């Protein structure tokens, strides 16, 4: 039986909660930031409007304000984020007990055994998405696939408030041309370890000759269940 996995990602979670709590912030460039006084003055999350102005998560507040002079900076309210995370989880629990959190704002849901009760994985994903807006007041992006890696990739492909399905029949056409760095298990260090040419997933999976990499480098791609491991071994 093909597994049915959803990955649910609460869009711009910290910033979305702040906007929900203070509706006057809606549509404005908002960034949730740590304390400058305590030397934690970095952007923890930003609204879509701030993102469009080039504000990036992890950058210093002063850098963000250079890009967006009208940026509204708000402090984090972790108690509220935990509250909303629990509200989202209650919705997930209506469809399955096989829930795996990935941080405070993301979860994988295995709904393989739920389809007889609630319909197709796509229907479940859409229903969760609509319920989240009505009952919690936040939007989510949902990825639907047959394993966790592709479900996570799907939720990242369209944001905000969207759903992407990556099936066994179509995954090659949908993801093989994407850069390897888009995959969950490929971090910045691994991505930077390749030669200056940027490999797509398809190219990586078909590289057979180490000469295609930097001299002496070896590339290994391992697929095991939900994990796609990409290893580069320097000389």
Find the CATH number of the domain harbouring 144.
Answer: 3.30.70.270
Choose the catalytic residue: 106, 122, 127, 173: 106
Active site residue 106: yes
Find the CATH number of the domain harbouring 39.
Answer: 3.40.1170.60
Residue 138, judged by CB atoms within 10 A of its CB (0-12, 13-18, 19+), counts as buried
Q: 111 with 153, same domain?
A: yes
What residue numbers bound the domain in which 86 lies?
A: 5-11+78-172
Q: 34 with 117, same domain?
A: no
Residue 12: the pLDDT is: 94
Q: 54 with 86, same domain?
A: no
Whether the upstream peptide bond of residue 89 has omega within 30° of 0, thus cis, is no
pTM for this one? 0.79
Task: Report the number of distinct structural domains present in the chain.
Answer: 3
Q: 137 with 106, same domain?
A: yes
Q: 44 with 117, same domain?
A: no
Q: What is the pLDDT of residues 56-74, one digit of tens each?
A: 999 999 999 999 999 999 9
pLDDT < 50 stretches in the chain: 194-197, 207-213, 215-225, 227-235
- What is the token pair recorded at 64? 């963000």
Single out the residue in 74, 93, 121 at which a domain terminates. 74
Given the structure tokens 């030669």, which residue do they identify?
195
Compute the mean pLDDT over every residue in the chain, rounded to the nearest whole number.
84
Q: 162 with 183, same domain?
A: no
Q: 69 with 51, same domain?
A: yes
Whether the upstream peptide bond of residue 160 has omega within 30° of 0, thus cis, is yes
Q: 97 with 138, same domain?
A: yes
β-pair partners for 146: none
Q: What is the pLDDT of residues 37-47, one digit of tens each?
A: 655 689 999 99
Q: 36 with 89, same domain?
A: no
Query: What does DSSP assign to residue 137?
Result: S
Q: 101 with 162, same domain?
A: yes
Rg (CA), the chain: 20
């Amino acid at each position: 039986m093909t597994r049915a996995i959803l990955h649910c990602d609460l869009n711009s979670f910290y910033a979305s909660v702040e906007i929900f709590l203070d509706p006057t912030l809606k549509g404005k460039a908002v960034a949730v930031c740590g304390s400058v006084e305590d030397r934690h003055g970095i952007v923890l999350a930003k609204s879509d409007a701030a993102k469009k102005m080039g504000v990036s998560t992890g950058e210093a507040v002063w850098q963000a304000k250079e890009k967006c002079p009208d940026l509204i900076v708000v402090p984090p309210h972790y108690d509220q984020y935990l509250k909303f995370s629990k509200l989202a989880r209650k919705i997930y629990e209506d469809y399955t007990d096989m829930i795996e959190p990935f941080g405070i704002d993301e979860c994988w849901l295995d709904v393989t055994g739920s389809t007889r009760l609630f319909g197709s994985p796509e229907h479940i994903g859409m229903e969760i998405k609509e319920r989240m807006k009505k009952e919690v007041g936040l939007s989510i992006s949902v990825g639907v696939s047959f394993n966790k890696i592709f479900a996570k990739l799907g939720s990242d492909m369209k944001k905000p408030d969207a759903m992407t399905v990556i099936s066994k029949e179509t995954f090659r056409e949908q993801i093989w041309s994407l850069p390897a760095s888009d995959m969950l298990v490929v971090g910045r260090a691994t991505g930077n370890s390749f030669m200056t040419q940027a490999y797509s997933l398809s190219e990586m999976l078909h590289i057979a000759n180490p000469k295609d990499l930097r001299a002496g480098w070896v590339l290994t791609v391992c697929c095991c269940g939900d994990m796609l491991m990409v290893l580069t071994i320097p000389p």
